[in-house]
Amino acid sequence: MGFFLVLGGARSGKSAYAERLAAGLAHRHSLNVTYVATAQASDKEMLTRIDRHRQERPDTWETVEVPLLLEQWLKTCETSNVLLIDCLSLLLNNWMFLDGCDEDEIRRRSENLLLAMKERKQPVVIVSSEVGQGIVPMDSFTRQYRDSLGWINQRMARDAEKAIWVVAGIPIDLKSIEVTLP
């Protein structure tokens, strides 16, 4: 079974689309959905946001919080549900800010995450932000974050069964419009 990457900017509708995709895959394969949250409630606004998202999801969906060691959790997880991982951008944030990962460690963890997703027999839907279309950040740490997430997104998109870019709530299948070199 493959995995699906859903990309988009802030408030693009990427998470809502990913939820519909996961629900559709679960229905097609007679499975349930496990929502894998990478966010942490670091302030009141984030806690409110997390609670709102939780209330919007179906009651039948299981929710697990995996803010750091997602690749290890995937290797040991025994659920046969469709996994909806939201999101890579917050996971990278946690790796950098909470674990102090450097570029080499980020790449190692990303590759291990990719392998763990590819080994699953059930579908995985993973969400990530597209942050590379803005201006170049002024500080080196923010540039490192932007560059690392860009690299992770490219790596995931290359191996994903589908890479969907959501703009203004409209999903675009990037692999169906992929241009190859002559």
For the question of residue 53 being annotated catalytic, the response is yes
**pLDDT computed for residue 179 by the predictor:** 83
| 118 assigned to a ligand binding site | no
**pLDDT computed for residue 43 by the predictor:** 85
Does the domain formed by 6-175 have CATH 3.40.50.300?
yes
Identify the CA nearest to 35 among candidates 10, 11, 16: 16
**pLDDT computed for residue 56 by the predictor:** 86
| Percentage helix, strand, coil for the chain under 3-state DSSP, each rounded to 5 | 45, 20, 35
| 18 assigned to a ligand binding site | no
Q: What's the pTM? A: 0.93
Per annotation, catalytic residue among 53, 107, 118, 155: 53
Looking up tokens 């839907």 gives 125
In the chain, % of residues over pLDDT 70 = 99
Comparison of pLDDT for 88 and 46, the residue scoring more: 88
Looking up tokens 């169906």 gives 176
| 24 assigned to a ligand binding site | no
Enumerate the domain spans of the chain. Answer: 6-175
